[in-house]
Structure 1
Amino acid sequence: MHTENNLQLTDGQKNRLIILICTILAFSVMNGTMFNVAIPDIAETFNLLPSEVSWVLTGYILIFAIGSLIYGKLADIYPIRTLITIGISLFSTGALIGFLSPNYGTLIIARILQALGGAAFPALSFLIPARFLPEQRGRVFGIVSSTVAFASGVGPILGGVIGSTFNWRFLFLFSVAAALAIPLFRKWLPLEEKREGTIDFLGAGLLAAMISSLLFFITSFLWYTALLFFIFSLLFIWRTMKAKHPFIEPEILKNMKYTTTVLTSFLGTFVLFGLIFIIPIMLRNLYGLSTLQIGLVLFPGAMAAGLIGQSGGRIIDSKGGALVVKVALILIGAGSLLISTFTGYAAWVIAPCLLISYLGFPLIQSATADLLSSVLPDEQNGVGIGLFNLLNFVAGAFSSAIFGSILDLNSAHIQFNPFAPAGDSILYSNLYIVLSLFAFLGLTVFTLMFTRNEQRQSTETPISYN
C-alpha cells in the first residue's frame, strides 16, 4: 500500500528516518527511566504513600498503553508526519506543566498529557520501518532495540545527576527539549495522503475505563471500583462483538502462536516493570541512598542491556526467536531470585544481580517482536503489534499498581526465601521471589504452548517435491 513512498527514498533519507526512530524512542524511554529514580523524591515532596506515588508511573503507562494502539490505527488514516508533530507537542507541553506543578494533582495531569503525546513514539517507531523501510526492517529493529536499552541505561544515571544536583522537577525540562526536533521530523518524513478509515473510539474508551477501574481497585480495594471493572468489561465485550470494526479485532486472538507470544511478553514485562518500580524505593528506604546513588546502582545493568541489544538481532537471526525468548526469561527470573537472596546485604551487591535481569530486557523485546512479525499475516501486522504494545504497557501499569499497594504494608511476617537475611528486608525479598516465579511461569507457558504449536504445524505441513 505504501511502496511508492519507499521507492522515492534515497539511502540518505532512509538513514535519517532511522535517526528519527531512535531519537523519539530515546526521549520516550529516558522520560520513564529518569522518573524511576526520582519516585522516592516525589513521594517526599508531596508526602505520598507508595500506592499513591505509583500513579506517577501507572497513570502515564495506562494512557501510554491505550494511546499507542490508537496512534497505530490513526497512522492508517493520517500522515505519520502529522501524528509525530501532535505527539511531540503534547509530550513537551505536559513536561512544561510538570516542571511548574504546584501540587500532586497538577503533576498527574502533566504526566497524562505527556503520555497522550509520548504514546505516538513506540507506535510510529514500529510503523515507520514497515512502511518506508520494509527491506531493512530486521536491521532497524536491531538498532531500535539497542537504542531502547542504551536509553534505559543513560536514563537512571542522568535522572540521578539532575535530581541530586537540582531536584526532580528539572527532569521535565529534558522532555521539553523534544519540541526542538519537530522541524526535523517534518522535514525528513515523507509526505503522505490522508486515507479512508474509521476508529472505534467508543471501544477504546471502554477499554481504558475497564483497565483504569481495575487499577483503582488494586490500589484502593474499594468495592465499587471492582463493580465498575465488571460493568466496563461487559460493555467492552458487547462493543467488540457488535462493532463492524472493533477497537481490538477478536480474530487475531485465534492465532495461538500470537496469543502465546503476547502472553509471554506480558509476564516478562510485568516482572521487569516490577523490578524497576521496587528497586529505587528499596534503595531509598532500606539503604538510605541518594537519587544519584540509586542511579549508579541501576546504571551497570541498563548499560549491559544496551551492549547486548546491539547484537540481539544477530542472535535471533542465528538461533531463532523462540530460543532467545527462553534465555531472556531465564535471565530475568534468575536475576530476580538473586536480588531476593541478597536483599539486605551491601547495596553494591544488588547491582550485579540486577544486571542479570536487565540482560533479558532487550532480548525478550526484540525476540517477541521478531516472532510476531513471522506468525502474523501482513494484513494483521499493524493491529497485532499495536495490541502487543498495549498489553506490554498494561503489564507495566498493573505491576506498578500491585507492588505499590503491597509496599504500603511496610513489613512482612513470613519469609519466602530461606537464604535471605531476616529483618526489614523480608518484604522486599518476598516481592522479588514473586517476580522470579512470574518469570518462570512465562517460561513454562511459552515452552509448552509455543513449542507444542510449532511441532504440531511441522507434522501437519505436507512435504513438497520440486
Structure 2
Amino acid sequence: MSDKTPAELTRSQKTRLVVMLCVILTFTVMNGTMFNVAIPDIAEDFQLLPSQVTWVMTGYILVFAVGALMYGKLADMYPIKRILTVGIILFAAGATLGLFSQNYAMLLAARILQATGGATIPALAFIIPARFMPKERGRVFGTVSATVAFASGLGPITGGLIGGAFDWRYLFILSILSLITLPFLRKWIPDEEVRPGRIDVIGALLIASAVAGLLFFITAFSLTGLGFFAAAMLVFVLHIRKHPAPFIDPAMLKDKYYTTAVMTSFLGTSVMFGMIFIVPIMARAVYGLSTIEIGLLLFPGALGAAVIGQRGGRLVESRGSYPVLQLAFLLAITGSLLISIFIGIPPFLLALCILVQYVAFPLIQSSTANLLTELVPKEKTGVGIGMFNLMNFLSGAVSSAIFGAFLDLQETSLRLNPVAIYDGLALYSNLFLAISLTAVVALFLFTRRFRGRKRTAL
C-alpha cells in the first residue's frame, strides 16, 4: 500500500467540502424519507399489503447495506472522488427510471438502481472526515449526522407537499437534481492514488443473498426464505475462511470492542428506522392524517435532531463517545416509551414524544462513527466504517420488514404496556414498547462491554 497521504486541506477547503457533502447527503436521505410518507399512496396505487409495500424501503435498504460495505472496501483501494462520481450518476439514473415507473416491478427496479449508486454517499460521508479531516472528525461527524437527521425530517414535508399536490412519482425529480453537486465534489475532494487490494465479490453476493432470504422469511413467513438464509450464511462462513481478502474480515470481528460498538449501533439504528417506518402508517390509520400532515408530525423531531446533532459532535470531541452514546440510548428509550403510552393523544402532542426519540439518532451515529475510527487501524478505516454502515442499513431493512409483518395484523387485543392510555390502539403501543426494550438491550450491551475501558481510549 502506498504511504503517500493526501495533502492537508486548508480551513476554507474543509468548509466547502463539508457543505457540499451535506448537500448531497440531504438529497440521499430525503430520497428515503420522502417515500416513507408516500408508502400509503404507493400501497393504494398498486393494491399492496404493508408487508409488500415495505419492499419499496426494504429492497432499497438491502442494496444500500451491502453497497455501503462494498464501497467502504473500495475506498481503501480507489480514490474517493472516482467512487463518488460513479455513485451519483447511478443514483440519478435510478431516479429517472422511477419518475416514469408504471408498475410495482418497475418502481422496485428504479429503487434498487438508485440504491446501487446512492450507497456511495453515506458510506463515504463518514470516511471523508476520517481521512481528510482527522483533527476535526468528531465535529464533522456531528455535522454529518445532524444533516442526516434534519433531511430525514425535511423529506416527509417535501414528500407530503409534492405527493399531495401532484403524484408520488415526482419525488424522484429531487434525486435527479443531485447531479448538480458532482462538479463541486470532483473539484474539492483531494486527489488520491490507487492502492493495491482485492474485492470479494462472491462474499458480497452471499451476504446479499443471506439477507434477502432472511427478509423474505420475515415478510412472507416463508421457510424457503429461512433455508436460503441459512445456506447462504453457511457457504459464506466457509468462503471467508479461504479468501485472502474476505468481504467481512474475521480478524476485525474478533475485536470485542469493535464488534460491540457495531452491534449496539445496529440495535440503535433499528430503533430509529422502526419509528420512522411505523409513524406514517400509524398516523394514517389512527389519526387519518394526509401525507403532508404526516410530514408535519415528523418535522419537529427532525429539526430538533439537527440542532442536537450539531452540538453532539462538539460534545463527542470534548467528552468522548462513551457518555454521548449512553445519553442517546436513554433518549431513545424514553421517547419510544412515551409514544407507546400516549398513542391516541392529539397529533401535536404526540409530535413532542416523537421529538424525544428523534434527537437520539444523530447522537448514536456521530458518537459510534467517532468511536470506530479510533478502534480500527487507519489503513482499514474504509472497511471499518463500511461494516458500521452495513449493519446500520441492515438494521433498517430487518426492522422495517419485521414491523411491516406485524402491521399486517392491523389490530390486536393484547396490550403489553399496562399504562398505555388507549385500549383500542394496542398494536401500535406494543410495537413502540418493543422498540423501547430494544434500546434498553443496546444500552446494556454497550455499557457492560465498555465499562472497564478508559475514557481516554474512547
Aligned position for 1:82 = 82
Matched-pair contact (CA < 8 Å) for 1:257–1:453: no
Which has the larger displacement, 381-390 or 142-151?
A: 142-151
C-alpha deviations, 1:322-367, integer Å up to 9, x for none? 1111111111111111111111222222100000001111111111
Q: 1:33-48 counterparts in 2 under 5 A?
A: 33-48=33-48
Which residue does the alignment assign to 1:6? 7
Residue 463 (structure 1) aligns with: none
Instruction: Provide the secondary structure at the position in 1 that maps to 2:6.
Output: helix
Cα offset, 1:374, TM superposition: 2.2
SS in structure 2 at match of 1:286: helix
Partner of 1:311: 311
Aligned residue for 1:250? 250
Question: Given residue 302 of structure 1, which amino acid in structure 2 is its aligned partner?
Answer: A
What's the RMSD between the two structures over aligned residues?
A: 1.8
Deviation at 1:12, TM superposition (A): 3.4
Give the superposition deviation at 1:99: 1.3
**What is residue 347 of structure 2 aligned with on the other side?**
347
Structure 1 pair 342/125, CA: closer, same or farther in 2 (3 Å)? same
Deviation, 1:422, is: 4.2
Shift of 1:453: 4.9
Structure 2 residue 200 is the aligned partner of structure 1 residue 200: yes
Distance 2:52 2:128 in 1: 37
Q: 161-170 or 75-84, which moves further after superposition? A: 75-84
Q: What's the CA shift for 1:4?
A: 4.5
Give the AA of the match of 1:43: A
Q: Report which stretch shifted further, 146-155 or 113-122.
A: 146-155
Which amino acid is the alignment partner of residue 323 of structure 1?
A: P
- The question of whether the paired residues in 1 share the 8 Å contact of 2:343 and 2:422 is answered with no
Could you tell me which runs of 5 or more consecutive residues in structure 1 were left unpaired when the two chains were aligned. Answer: 459-466
Corresponding residue number in structure 1 for 2:260: 260
Post-superposition Cα deviations, 1:66-104, rounded to whole Å, max 9, x if no partner, equal 001111111222222221111111101111111110011
1:105 is the counterpart of 2:105:
yes
User: For the Cα contact (< 8 Å) 1:2–1:131, is it kept in 2?
Assistant: no
Partner of 2:364: 364
Structure-2 change in CA distance of 1:44 and 1:424 (3 Å) = farther
User: What is the rounded CA distance, in whole Å, between the counterparts of 2:154 and 2:331 in structure 1?
Assistant: 21
More deviation in 208-217 or 149-158?
149-158
Distance 1:441 1:373 in 2: 24
Measure how far apart 1:13 and its partner are.
Answer: 2.9
1:170-195 deviations in whole A, cap 9, x for unaligned? 11111011122222222333333333
Given that 1:2 and 1:132 are in contact with CA atoms closer than 8 Å, whether structure 2 keeps it comes out as no
Q: 2:430 — aligned with what? A: 430
Question: 1:34 touches 1:155 (CA, 8 Å); kept in 2?
Answer: yes
CA contact (8 A) 2:138 2:316 kept: no
Q: Note if contact 1:98-1:172 (Cα within 8 Å) is conserved in structure 2.
A: yes
User: Within 5 A, what are the aligned runs for 1:121-200?
Assistant: 121-200=121-200
Task: Show the counterpart of 1:120.
Answer: 120
CA contact (8 A) 1:60 1:115 kept: yes
1:38 is paired with a residue of what secondary structure?
helix
- How high is the TM-score relative to the length of structure 2? 0.96
What's the CA shift string for 1:404-442, capped at 9, x where partnerless? Answer: 011001111211112224454111111111111101111
Once the two structures are TM-superposed, the CA of residue 208 in structure 1 deviates from its matched residue by: 0.6
- Residue 23 of structure 1 aligns to which amino acid in structure 2? V
Deviations 1:254-273 (A, max 9, x none): 21111111111111111110
Q: How many residues align?
A: 456
The alpha-carbon deviation at position 141 of structure 1 amounts to 1.7
Q: Between the two proteins, what is the percent identity of the paired residues?
A: 54
**Structure-1 residue corresponding to 2:408:** 408
How far does residue 212 in structure 1 lie from its aligned partner after superposition?
Answer: 0.7
Alignment-derived partner of residue 230 in structure 2: 230
Q: Does the 8 Å contact 1:6/1:131 carry over to 2?
A: no
Shift of 1:375: 2.4
Q: Distance in 2 between matches of 1:44 and 1:421?
A: 31
Q: Secondary structure at the match of 2:409?
A: coil
Cα shift readout 1:215-258 (whole Å, capped 9, x = no counterpart): 00001111211111111010010011111111111111121111
For 1:400 and 1:130, the matched residues in 2 are separated by 30
Please report how far the alpha carbon of residue 452 of structure 1 lies from its aligned counterpart in structure 2 after TM superposition. Answer: 3.7
TM-score, length-scaled by structure 1:
0.94
Cα distance in structure 1, aligned partners of 2:452 and 2:129: 31
Indicate if the aligned counterparts of 2:335 and 2:353 stay in contact, CA closer than 8 A: yes
Distance (Å, rounded) in 2 between the aligned partners of 1:370 and 1:411: 41
AA in 1 matched with 2:119: A
Please give the alpha-carbon distance, in whole angstroms, between the structure 2 residues aligned to 1:143 and 1:404. Answer: 31
CA distance in 2, matches of 1:339, 1:11: 43
After superposition, the Cα gap between the structure-2 partners of 1:12 and 1:320, relative to the gap in structure 1 and judged at 3 Å, is: closer
Deviations 1:4-56, CA, capped at 9 Å, x for gaps: 4324x444333322223212211111111111111111111111110001111
What secondary structure does 1:6 align onto?
A: coil
Hey, what's the Cα distance between the residues in 1 that align with 2:192 and 2:378? 20
Higher mean C-alpha deviation, range 336-345 or range 140-149: 140-149
Q: Find the counterpart in structure 1 of residue 335 from structure 2.
A: 335
Alpha carbons 1:286, 1:424 under 8 Å: kept: no
Q: Does 1:445 align with 2:456?
A: no
Amino acid at match of 2:318: S
Segments of 4+ in structure 1 off by > 6 A?
Answer: none
For structure 2, the 5+ residue unaligned runs are: none
Aligned residue for 2:412, secondary structure, equals coil
Following the alignment from structure 2 to structure 1, what is the Cα–Cα distance between the partners of residues 408 and 139?
44
